[in-house]
Structure 1
């Protein structure tokens, strides 16, 4: 891919709950999050040539990238209205980008490959269908390494950083608070806010200190309460390490009684 006139920022975004943005929401639970996702194109210095999404819903041995020309969709949510299993997102894939990303990880000594068969899970197509509904930007999904090692994911982010100079938008897609048993429980509000405050301070540090702090997220106040399993937090490690700039919060509100945030790394 050729150089562009601007380096694109990287983001860590919340992708909501299942197909939440495509269902009736009379209480407005998801309104603020949807508005934030719709604002993503406006936050960029120029339109992306491709989008690389690190999803908390795909784990592999080593890292993997979707390499199909036209990836299908994986409706990996359960018990939702029938129409949500008919959501379409016909954006093209980007096989060349998938190969380039895998090569960058290989060059950094990391295990990576291209999966030409796999489609996109809802951590990819749901937020993108809100942010880029025209589905006209090529997309590649990146998996997590099933070791769930924060340092390994940070190393992957550093390796992928050059893509940002080539018009590739790197999105870490997860949820900054992801304890399914705590959602909608008012007693979870204060603990989630404490962890959210810690996370905001951690991402605002210079790169080396930030990576060290994020690698020790489980020792943070209410860390394990906020993430009994860390798959929805690890996309943050990739997005943060893809930039040497200090992170800043660009979204934050209480959703289902818990503090949820999104971050930008210039």
Structure 2
């Protein structure tokens, strides 16, 4: 069974642990629960490409029992004590790094890296039981779109080995424009994303992502492309699997248009 890949919004900070955030994240949360249902028991592990871990070359977390990295500020005190107790899988980290090295890319493993909120908030929303082993993959701090696409292509064999590859970011990531000031820019960029990804596959899709800065409002939506690069890895790993919409909302935080995407066919009916 070949698993699909995903590019998913992980939301803001530790939102799944905050009851007061439930109205804001109702639509996103429902989409992530639907993902758990559609994957059912298919994955044996999850590889999360997280926007919140940047390294010179690609790296993979290899702790057997990863700790927590509370990489946010201004949240309630109790959110700095939360734990997502999923195990790591050092063998998968080594396998993934080996696939990149086999393709001529530098890659390493990190036995000290804990879960950042790009991983634990997303995973808590999808698999709150924390039953699946999780390995994190960093993005390169040069944000090279071609290299992120190429890395994804090298990781594609993991899809046939029961590994769900999830790019964790956000299709709109300009924290200074999260209200009405981001309405038009987010809608314009999201429209480009959907035209470039839904039903599209192969070289034409890759070409669009290579030149993402030419998209409408691109730099207003992503002043830094850290939250976009996980998409490139997910698309690279998808090979020729067509894209589809996994989540869409045009009133996130009251005004923002945001989407998540699936590449490939879910293993069970939704």
Fold shared per TM-score above 0.5: yes
Aligned to 2:11: 16
- Summarize the Cα distance change of 1:72–1:26 in structure 2 as closer, same or farther, 3 Å threshold: closer
Alignment of 1:227-242 (within 5 A): 227-242=222-237
Give how far 1:25 is off: 2.8
Aligned equivalents of 1:180 and 1:73: distance in 2?
23
CA RMSD of aligned residues (A): 1.2
Aligned to 2:35: 40
- TM-score (norm. length: structure 1): 0.95
SS class of match (1:7): coil
Contiguous gaps of at least 5 residues in structure 2: 265-270
The residue aligned with 2:242 is: 246
1:122 equivalenced with 2:120 (yes/no): no
Distance 2:181 2:112 in 1: 43
Match of 1:201 among 175, 185, 195: 195
Structure 1 residue 105, shift from structure 2 partner: 0.3
Question: Deviations 1:177-231 (Å, cap 9, x if unpaired)?
Answer: 00101101x2321221111010111113222111110111111110011000000
Q: CA deviation at 1:19?
A: 1.0
In structure 1, what is the Cα distance between the partners aligned to 2:223 and 2:197? 20
Contact 1:54–1:142, Cα closer than 8 Å, also in 2: yes
Using the alignment, how far apart are the partners of 2:174 and 2:243 within structure 1? 24
Q: Kindly indicate whether residue 223 of structure 2 is the aligned counterpart of residue 225 of structure 1.
A: no
CA displacement, residues 7-61 of structure 1 (integer Å, 9 cap, x when unaligned): 1110000000111222133771111111111221212264310000000000111
> Does the alignment pair 1:179 with 2:177?
no
Contact 1:9 1:44 in 2 (8 A): no
Q: Which runs of 5+ in 1 are unaligned?
A: 1-5
Structure 1 residues 102-131: Cα deviation after superposition (integer angstroms, max 9, x where no partner): 000001111100001111100001110111
Distance in 1 of aligned mates of 2:25 and 2:111: 33
> Counterpart of 1:262?
260
1:66-101 alpha-carbon deviations (Å, 9 max, x no partner): 001101010101010011111111111000000000
**Structure 2 residue aligned with 1:28:** 23
Q: Secondary structure of the residue that 2:120 maps to in structure 1?
A: helix
Structure 2 equivalent of residue 149 of structure 1: 144
How do 1:45-194 residues align onto structure 2 when only pairs under 5 Å count? 46-184=41-179, 186-194=180-188
Structure 2 Cα separation of the partners of residues 131 and 234 of structure 1: 21
Q: Aligned to 1:187, what secondary structure does the other structure show?
A: helix
Secondary structure class of the residue paired with 2:247:
strand
State the TM-score, normalizing by the size of structure 2. Answer: 0.94
SS of the residue aligned with 1:47? coil
Distance 1:150 1:40 in 2: 26
